[in-house]
Structure 1
Amino acid sequence: MQPTDRHDDVMNRATERNLAMHQPQDQVRDTDKPREPQESADPRRWKALAVICTAQLMLMLDLTVINVALPDLGADLGLSRGAFTWVVSVYVLFLGGLLLLGGRLADVFGARSMILTGLVVFILSSLASGLAQDENLLIGGRLCQGIGAALLSPAALRALTGIFHGTERNKALGVWSSLGGIGFAVGVFVGGLLTSGPGWRWVFFINIPIGVITLVAIRALVPERRIAGANRRIDVLGAVTVTAATGSFIYGMINAGDHGWADPGTLVPIAAAVILYVVFTVVERKVQNPLVRPDMLVRRPVATGAFLMLIAAGVTVADLFITSQYLQHLRGYSALETGLFFLPTALATMVGAIVGGRLVGTIGTRPVAVAGLALVAIGNGLLIGLSANGNVYAQALPGAVLFALGGAPVFVAATTAALGRVTQDEAGLVSGMVYTFNPTGSAIFVAVGSTVAASGLASTPSIEGFTNVYTMFTVVAAVAAVVSLVLAPSGKPQMTGVPDAR
Structure 2
Amino acid sequence: MTTESTEARLAPAEAPVPQTAPAVAAADPRRWWVLVVISFAQFIIAIDASVVNVMGPQLQHAIHLSTPGLQWVMNIYVLLFGGLLLLGGRLSDVAGRKQMFLGGLVLFTLASLAAGLAHSEGQLLTARAVQGIAAAALSPASLSILVTTFTDPEERSKAFGVWGSVIGVGASVGTIIGGAIGNSDWRWAFWINVPVGVLVAAGAIALVGRSVRNTVREATDTLGALTATGGLVLLVYGIVTSSTHGWTAGQTLGSFAGAVVLLSVFLVVESRSAAPLLPLRLFRSRTVVAGALGEFLTAAFMMPLFFLIPLYLQDVSGYSPLRTGLAWLPTSVGLMVLAPVASQLVNKVGPRAMYLLGTAFLAGVIGVAIGIPLHASYVSFMLPLSALFGAGLVFCLIATPVVGTADATEEDAGTTSALLNASTQIGAAFGIAVSVTLLNNRMTHELTHGASAQTALVHGLRVAFIGLVVMLVLSIVNGLVGFRGLKRPGSAERKLS
Q: TM-score, normalised by structure 2?
A: 0.88
Number of corresponding residues: 461
Residue matched to 1:85: 71
- 1:79 Cα shift? 2.3
- 1:495 Cα shift? 10
Residue matched to 1:493: 489
Say whether residues 1:186 and 2:173 are aligned partners.
yes
Amino acid aligned to 2:168: G
**Contact map agreement 2:118 2:124 (CA 8 A) in 1:** yes
How far does the alpha carbon of each residue in 1:237-283 deviate from its partner, in whole angstroms, 9 at most, with x for none?
A: 21221111111111111112223212223221122111111011011
Q: Equivalent residue of 1:233, what SS?
A: coil
Residue matched to 1:310: 296
Match of 2:269 among 278, 283, 289: 283
Q: Equivalent residue of 1:424, what SS?
A: coil
Q: Equivalent residue of 1:484, what SS?
A: helix
List alignment gaps of at least 5 residues for structure 1: 1-33, 497-502
- 1:35 Cα shift? 9.5
Distance 1:495 1:432, change over 3 A: farther
Amino acid aligned to 1:492: R
List alignment gaps of at least 5 residues for structure 2: 1-16, 493-497
- 1:484 Cα shift? 1.6
Match of 1:467 among 462, 470, 492: 462
Say whether residues 1:173 and 2:168 are aligned partners.
no
- 1:494 Cα shift? 4.0
- 1 CA distance for matches of 2:174 and 2:312? 17
Amino acid aligned to 1:267: L
Alignment of 1:341-420 (within 5 A): 341-420=327-406
Amino acid aligned to 2:192: I
- 1 CA distance for matches of 2:438 and 2:318? 21
- 2 CA distance for matches of 1:190 and 1:456? 29
- 1:227 Cα shift? 4.8
Residue matched to 1:269: 255
Match of 1:43 among 29, 49, 63: 29
Q: Equivalent residue of 1:492, what SS?
A: coil
- 1 CA distance for matches of 2:315 and 2:180? 19
Distance 1:396 1:133, change over 3 A: closer
How far does the alpha carbon of each residue in 1:75-123 deviate from its partner, in whole angstroms, 9 at most, with x for none?
A: 2222233222222211111111111111112112222221111010001
Say whether residues 1:99 and 2:85 are aligned partners.
yes
Residue matched to 2:323: 337
**Kindly, what percent of the aligned residue pairs are identical?**
37
Which one has the largest radius of gyration? 1
- 2 CA distance for matches of 1:358 and 1:352? 10
Q: Equivalent residue of 1:39, what SS?
A: helix
- 1 CA distance for matches of 2:421 and 2:376? 39
Residue matched to 1:211: 197
Distance 1:480 1:63, change over 3 A: same
Amino acid aligned to 1:96: G
- 1:292 Cα shift? 0.9
Q: Equivalent residue of 1:231, what SS?
A: coil
- 2 CA distance for matches of 1:35 and 1:423? 15
Amino acid aligned to 2:489: P
- 1 CA distance for matches of 2:376 and 2:404? 44
Distance 1:209 1:100, change over 3 A: same
Distance 1:227 1:200, change over 3 A: closer
- 1:177 Cα shift? 0.9
Say whether residues 1:482 and 2:477 are aligned partners.
yes
Amino acid aligned to 1:181: G
Amino acid aligned to 1:220: A
- 1:353 Cα shift? 3.4
- 1:442 Cα shift? 0.5
**Contact map agreement 1:300 1:489 (CA 8 A) in 2:** no
Q: TM-score, normalised by structure 1?
A: 0.87
- 2 CA distance for matches of 1:394 and 1:151? 42
Alpha-carbon RMSD across the aligned residues, in angstroms, is 2.1
Amino acid aligned to 1:48: V
Say whether residues 1:60 and 2:60 are aligned partners.
no
Distance 1:434 1:495, change over 3 A: farther
- 1 CA distance for matches of 2:274 and 2:58? 51
